[in-house]
Every structure is written in structure tokens, then in C-alpha cells.
Amino acid sequence: MQKIDFVVAWVDGSDPEWQKKYLKYRPAEKSIMNGEIRYREYGTFKYWFRSVEKYAPWVNKIYVITDNQVPSWLNEENDKIEIIDHRDFIDSKYLPTFNSSTILLHIDRIKNLSEKFVLFNDDMFLNDEVTERDFFRNDLPVDTGTFQPTIPTTSFTHLLLNDVLIINSWFDYRSVLKKNFKKYFSYKYGIKRILSATTTLPFKKIIGFYDEHLATPYLKSDFSRVTNKATKAVEKTSLNKFRTNNDINEWIVRYYEYCTGKFVPRKKGFGKFYELKEYKDFVKDIKESSSKVVCINDSSDSESEFGMKELNKMFSEKFPEKSCFEK
């Protein structure tokens, strides 16, 4: 098995220096995609490292992407940690940037990043023991590669539709289905996913993919291949300091891997996505390690503050000891 790196993007929106930049460039028009809540640090990042130490000690390197920030408690002397500033891999003409799509569309340019890596957001945590085979098999990413209609319910949907628009210019849906039909309709996904994918069959074009908001394995070579192929869209996105409805995002690389069959179907139940208001559910999941990976997404509703407290409490009980990644 070749070495596998983890990449995680982190920002502390309460940092005064960062806030100065944010306020200087913040667009006048408010958007759910760029509100201050998207940059909130809610005290759980140290538990991300504790979970990695406990459940994935085999990881080769951990690349922490930041904007001239380092958590005060992080042990930078640990050989496995590499702090990567935006300036280290993003062209200066795009900086400063507050656009997560810009940041993640350039990660293949991180120096010495391994061919196989797993991309995390800082709200995605390992919740049980994982092995290399949970992320890569036969040198391919393990993922839920299947179709479903893209329903425009939030501003984020624009990013996905823009990705799909480009994918449709590269691939013929019928040819894609013919080559890897068994992967898209794998029994591993469960009946619900298969039925959802079936609804896309009458269409001549791809109308959407199933998107799990979880830690995602990638091949660096595919990342480079796709972003070079979509260079105009990447450039257009990168020039936007904040996310806009005209952007694409890094999921276009996943979609490319799906359409080329460069993935291995992942079994249902590997991970689970929650919002902070769903604290009763994610507390139970974390306590029982029901899912191997959990994403606890921030939200602006009235219950988010309580959910944040419950999350920190649960993690402090599950991971009470400092990791080797902490001072």
C-alpha cells in the first residue's frame, strides 16, 4: 500500500488579523455561502487530531491548510504535521482568498503531497478505527459513486450544477453508464441510493451525482488532470475572493473519477452528516461509534450554540488525552 496523506483546511474567524482582511474584502451583498459562520472555529479541532491518532495511526503526513494561522496548541515539531499557508500553493494573484473553492481547487500543488490523499474539512472527524482500505483499494479511491437528481435547494447547489455542466461537456451519459453500470448501481449503496439513481436513467444528460459531505479520498494526478482540463473555470473561480453562484468546486474531480470509473464502491453507512441542531443524534453516534466518519456542520439556527457545547462535551469524554500532535 502506497503512503496516504490527510489534508485538512482550518480557519479561525475570531483572529483579529484575519478579521481585518475579511472586513476589507467582504462583499456588500450577504450570502449564506460567505457569512461569518462559515469561518467560525468552535474549539473542536484538537479532537480532530486526537481522533486521527487513535483511529488512523498509519497516516503518512497531515497537511494543515491555513491563512497565516496556526492553532496555539499544535505541536509543529511533530514529523507528521506540515503547516501549509495559502501562499505556499496558491498563486499570489488570487490572494488573499476567503473562497474555499479556490483553496481546495489548488491543493494538488502542495509540495510533496502524496498521490493518494484524503481531504477533510475541519468539521469532519474520524469516529472509529479506519484502515487504508477504507479510503483506497486497488489504487483507487473508495467512494459512493452514483447518480441522483440535483435539486436546487440552497445557494451551494449552484456550485454542483456548474460542475455537472462541465462534466456533461466532457462525457456522454450513455457511454458512461455502459462502461461502469455495476459500479453506479452497486448493492453496497443500499436500495434507497439505487432507486434514486434509477430516476436519472431516462435522461440523455447527467442531471446530478449523489454527494456525501464526508472526508473524500482523491488521486493527486486526477486532481491535476481535471483542474488543468477545466482551467478557465478554475481561473474564473479563483478570481472570486468569496464564493459566488458562478464558481465550481473541488467535487468536479470526484465527478470525473466517477465518470471514468476510477473508484471502488463504498459500503453504505461508512459516514454520516449532521447539523449542530441534530445534537441528540450525533451525540449518540459519537458515543457508540456508529459511523466511521462524522461531519458536524455548523448552522445559524437557535440550537447551534447548544449543539456546539454538546459536541465539545462529547469529544472531551471520547478523547480525554492529549495527542502527540499537541504541545
- Does the pLDDT at position 4 exceed 90? yes
User: 7-39: per-residue pLDDT in tens?
Assistant: 999 999 889 999 999 989 988 777 666 666 677
Helices marked H in 68-219 — which ranges?
100-105, 157-170, 173-184, 191-198
Residue 144 confidence (pLDDT): 97
Span 153-177, pLDDT tens digits: 777 889 999 999 999 999 999 999 9
Percent of the chain at pLDDT exceeding 90: 86
Measured CA distances, 98 to 3, 47, 136, 222 (Å): 30, 24, 31, 25
Q: What is the mean pLDDT of residues 108-132?
A: 97
Mean pLDDT, rounded, for 251-271: 97
Share of the chain above pLDDT 70, in %: 96
Residue 308 has pLDDT above 80, yes or no: yes
279-288 helix and 304-318 helix, angle to the nearest 10 degrees? 10
Place of cell 486526537: 50
* pLDDT attached to residue 1: 62
Contacts of 306 (CB under 8 A, 6+ apart): 279
Task: Give the mean model confidence (pLDDT) for residues 180-206.
Answer: 97
Domains of the chain from N-terminus onward: 4-318 (3.90.550.10)
Single-letter residue type at 118: V
Question: pLDDT confidence of 309, banded at 50, 70, 90?
Answer: very high
Cα(312)–Cα(46) distance, rounded to whole angstroms? 10
pTM, to two decimals: 0.95
